[in-house]
Amino acid sequence: MSTLSRRRHGPFRTSPRPSLFDALDLYRQRRALARLDDHALDDIGVTREEADAEARRPFWDITRR
């Protein structure tokens, strides 16, 4: 049985407007970041304050960096 998935790995598409799927994917990533413990955050070079600030951003706030 095959499954269709919209989940992508990697950066957002290069279209000027992110899709709803991009926003939902980012929302999930931010929730996962908020659940990491301090040791895991240290491994990826992010402080607790930075992780909390990113997790508090609304799902529609997509900034391309």
Average pLDDT of the chain, as a whole number: 81
Are 25 and 7 in contact, with CB atoms under 8 Å apart? yes
Tell whether the model's pLDDT for residue 24 goes beyond 60: yes
pTM of the model: 0.65
- Report the pLDDT averaged over residues 32-44: 96
DSSP string, 10-65: SSPPSSSS--HHHHHHHHHHHHHHHH--HHHHHHHT--HHHHHHHHHS-TT-----
pLDDT confidence of residue 18:
72
